[in-house]
Amino acid sequence: MTDAPAATAGPPSTTRFNWRSLLWQAILTVTIAWLGYEAFTNARTNMQARNIPSDFSFWFNTSGFDINQTLISYSAVSTYGRAFMVGLINTLAVAAAGVFFATIIGFSVGIARLSSNWIVAKLAAAYVELLRNTPLLLQLLFWYNAVLKQLPHPRQSLPFPALTAQMPGLTTLLIGGGAVLAAAMLLWFGKRANSAGPVPLLTRTLGSLSLGAGVLILLFGGMLIGAGSSSNDVFAGILGFAKGQYGYLNNRGLYLPFPQFAAAMQPVWIAFGCGLVAAIVFFVWAGKRQLRTGQQLPRASIALAILFIPAALVFWSAGNPVSFDLPKPRGFNLSGGWRIYPEFFALLLGLSLYTAAFIAEIVRAGILAVEKGQTEAAGALGLRRQTILKLVVIPQAMRVIIPPLTNQYLNLTKNSSLAVFIGYPDLVQVFAGTVLNQTGAAVQVIAITMAVYLVISLVTSLIMNIYNRRVALVER
Amino acid sequence: MSNIFIRQTPLPQLAPPPDSQGVVGWLRENMFSTPLSSMLTLLALLIIGWIVPDLIRFMFVDAVWSGDGAACKAPGAGACWAYVRDKIGFFTYGLYPETEIWRVNLVLAVGAVLALWLLWPDAKGRAMAAVLFFAAYPVISFGLLTGHVPFPMGWFPGGAPGKLAVWAFPLILLVAATGLYFARQRGWAFLLIGVCIWFAVGLIWRDFNLVKVGTHNWGGIFVSLLVATIGIVFSLPLGVLLALGRRSEMPIVRFCSIVFIEFIRGVPLITILFMANFMLPLFVPQEWSPDRLLRPLIGVALFASAYMAEVVRGGLQAIPKGQYEGAMAMGLNWSQMMRLIVLPQALVLVIPGIVNSFIALFKDTTLVAIAGVFDFLKAIETQREDPSWAGPTISTTGYLFAALFYFLFCFGMSRYSIMMEKRLSAGRKH
């Protein structure tokens, strides 16, 4: 290949201009243009011959089919466009829930795999290997057909969560033990907070959690017995739900109590909103104060307290204005309550567990990527283990973890299209399945479906690139 | 000074503390080192005790190894392996005619031998294996599996001009090959000789008269392996081209490669299979209507090639810049540089990545069921409803069998990939 003629001043240009590259590009362009033209004309001929619509007018036609799980209102007289919306929202719902659970499970399993406890590490490794080496579709079909569909009929529903059915006294033990543990943590946290030096992350987390749990149980516990009365037998309500008096599990789904908010809840939401703003402001201010003066406050616990306590007080003083729509047996089925369909549950379970296995490996790689010298140097500086994790290891590990993590989130979103095999009405099943079959407008429907997934992928990649550039190591 | 004691010999070495040695010591260190660790050990043992005995009981102790549907319906029966044994033919070959199964076995055996030859570390003559695997094997398999002649003999006119063409064609090719060989264009010469051999095979094939087996009869493990293998065989060259195109300095080539790769990687495989299944017949003239198996195969091949392009691109980026610059300093043109210097190193580097792609592709072949192809998982799905075997354990047995098969295959391939990665990075660790 010949170089461009050398300039008389400055370094030689690195872009090559020569006739051969021009020829190759011309050939490529002509080939692609010709193929595109051929495909276009063939498609037009074939579609006219088979009476397939070639525009988007089907969008406004009546759909004529029903969808059993919709998060927005939809009926058989809605348009195909509305059906598209239903499918899209279902896909986003299962993807969001899947991402949430997959992250939690994935991080736990990844950290467990690095544990010094041999049996925990091997269990985590077995989980990862088992789930990564079997196809996702097989797992979905297993959960749907071999587990959820084998549950009993609605007339013989299993109570949910029914902890006492498994082991008598376990529920009382758990709730009592949990209360004792929360009290102990509160006391210990108070004692630790008074001691000199920064409070470790674990203590603070447990402190916040126990504080929040205590507040929630005390102030909202009355919800669980249904009526908006102020005589709240809190533990009876919790025990009742734990014993399975209000939840039903059968092969038509999981039925749970659904909260109904009275009009008197408005002030509570306002108080919650103000609490949220105040909590964020406090959180940011406390961080800045720490950078300025070096004084630390237990930011998270106080922020949580600011978030929940005013709302809880308003709620309490308004007389607990919430009631529960409890599912009740009626005929061959159940009515009322919040029904979680087995298709959604199977898809969520399969996707979360499968993606969690991949996330576990990513987390493990990220934590191992931080050099041991960092931990040792932090220890030599006198930092305790929790602080080392929080300030030294995890920020560096996050830089390695986040790019493949967002890739896994994208994979989860794309894998949710497997809902078409188990009948969950997601975008592919509703739009590229039913709507395509009814209208025959294959090109338009598939193009729209692909465009949706492409937009999700590209937006996520864009955000990820921005993040990468911000945290990238500046190299010489 | 007689009451000063000075040792002349060292004391004997004491044994280490007893509870830091042996089993007890190992347990203390690995399972019970802190209170939290002990709690986790107990929790883990509880979980194992909950799952494993039930699993072993289901799979082995209570399992029904032979019998019929009634034996599997008996209360307390475990996994119904008798059902698997009864259906193993369908699970492996689908509806392929029993008398022609030797053809499938031959194709699978030859494929296994060639794959082993290619993947065995430090095997000799892998270039030959590559040529056989990527060029000869697809042709022979197509012929054996479908029964059609693997050469477009229909392009030759019939009658007397046909007979003349049958002699003239290879003669012209051989003469051209000889000319090219002596004109120092050995690659092109070998290509023409290859076409000659292909033609000869086609000629001989006509006398075999194999029974034609339509693709709607193919199914089971053999289709899963076929789809995955075809995916890899076509995605590797295409992926290399796309990766080179993505790194090219020609803007249009780079643009087209990036658009193709990002488009395919941004959409789920199911939508690509839908596109191949529904849109492809619309884009080609009526008389070409592609076969029912061919459409998802095209979709899978395109999908795999986009991911393979990224894997190969990683390998190309890992080659030090000095290699490119050295090749250019020696006066090699682009095609010589890629063919002789860069690609041999890059492709060997990404063997683990290619094997990982193969594992992912093998798992993704389960999705071709959406196009009506009877792959292994769909075969198991459909046979679940067989009334002569209906029972509470049939579903679980079927899924367990599928899970075992996929797990063994994918786990084996991933161990190979890890082994190759260790060998390849052995020279690079500093």
- Per-residue pLDDT tens digits for A86-141: 999 999 999 999 999 999 999 999 988 988 889 999 999 999 999 999 999 999 99
Q: Do B274 and A418 touch (CB under 8 A)?
A: no
Please list, in sequence order, all residues whose beta carbon lies within 8 angstroms of the beta carbon of residue A275, skipping any fewer than 6 positions away.
A306, A307, A308, A309, A310, A311
Name the pLDDT band for A409 (thresholds 50, 70, 90): very high
* Chain B positions in Cβ-Cβ contact with residue A42 (cut-off 8 Å): 282-285
Q: Letter for the amino acid at A428?
A: V
Chain A: closest CA distance from residue B192 (Å): 24
DSSP B234-288: HHHHHHHHHHHHHT-S-HHHHHHHHHHHHHHHHS-HHHHHHIIIIIHHHHS-GGG
Block residue for tokens 């009290």: A183
* Chain B positions in Cβ-Cβ contact with residue A138 (cut-off 8 Å): 366, 377, 399, 402-403, 406
Q: Do B266 and A118 touch (CB under 8 A)?
A: no
Whats the size of chain B, residue-wise?
Answer: 430
* Chain A positions in Cβ-Cβ contact with residue B40 (cut-off 8 Å): 115, 117, 119-120
Give B 332-361 residues with CB within 8 A of chain A: 333-334, 359
Q: What is the pLDDT, as a whole number, of residue A390?
A: 80
Poorest-pLDDT segment among A345-354, A363-372, B190-199: B190-199
Q: Is B381 exposed, middle or buried (0-12, 13-18, 19+ CB in 10 A)?
A: buried
A45 or B76: which leads in pLDDT: A45
Give A 27-86 residues with CB within 8 A of chain B: 28-29, 32, 38-39, 42-43, 46-47, 49, 52
Neighbours of B328 (CB within 10 A): 14
Q: Do B249 and A25 touch (CB under 8 A)?
A: no
Strands B374-375 and A322-325 come out as unpaired
CB of A117 less than 8 A from some CB of B:
yes
Instruction: Name the 3-class secondary structure at A18.
Output: coil
Is residue A325 pLDDT above 90, yes or no? no
Q: What is the pLDDT, as a whole number, of residue A177?
A: 64
Instruction: Name the 3-class secondary structure at A78.
Output: coil
**Residue in chain B nearest A443 by alpha carbon:** B279
Chain A: closest CA distance from residue B355 (Å): 13
C-beta of residue B236 within 8 angstroms of C-beta of residue B303: no
Q: How far apart are CA A92 and CA A416, in angstroms?
A: 9
DSSP summary character for residue B80: B
Is residue A241 pLDDT above 80, yes or no? no
A269 or A197: which leads in pLDDT: A269
Q: How far apart are CA B72 and CA B393, in angstroms?
A: 7
Poorest-pLDDT segment among A318-332, A458-472, B186-200: A318-332
Neighbours of B273 (CB within 10 A): 23
C-beta of residue B170 within 8 angstroms of C-beta of residue B196: yes
Chain A: closest CA distance from residue B182 (Å): 25
CB of B287 less than 8 A from some CB of A:
no
Name the pLDDT band for A227 (thresholds 50, 70, 90): very low
Q: Do B268 and A414 touch (CB under 8 A)?
A: yes
Q: Do A457 and B271 touch (CB under 8 A)?
A: no
Q: Is A464 exposed, middle or buried (0-12, 13-18, 19+ CB in 10 A)?
A: middle
Report, as ranges of residue numbers, the positions in chain B whose pLDDT lies below 70. 1, 157-159, 427-430
Chain A: closest CA distance from residue B142 (Å): 27
CB of B410 less than 8 A from some CB of A:
yes
Name the pLDDT band for A73 (thresholds 50, 70, 90): confident
Please list, in sequence order, all residues whose beta carbon lies within 8 angstroms of the beta carbon of residue A202, skipping any fewer than 6 positions away.
A386
What average pLDDT is seen over chain A?
82
Q: Do B278 and A421 touch (CB under 8 A)?
A: no
Q: Do A458 and B262 touch (CB under 8 A)?
A: yes
* Residue B64: φ, ψ to 5°: -100, 110
Cα dihedral B350, B356, B359, B364 sign: negative
Chain A: closest CA distance from residue B281 (Å): 8
Q: How far apart are CA B88 and CA B405, in angstroms?
A: 12
Best-predicted range by mean pLDDT among A14-28, A211-225, A310-324, B271-285?
B271-285
* Residue B218: φ, ψ to 5°: -80, 145
Output the pTM of the full model: 0.84
C-beta of residue A108 within 8 angstroms of C-beta of residue B40: no
Please list, in sequence order, all residues whose beta carbon lies within 8 angstroms of the beta carbon of residue A60, skipping any fewer than 6 positions away.
A79, A80, A81
Q: What is the pLDDT, as a whole number, of residue A199?
A: 59
Is residue A388 pLDDT above 70, yes or no? yes
Whats the size of chain A, residue-wise?
Answer: 476
Longest dimension (CA), chain A: 93
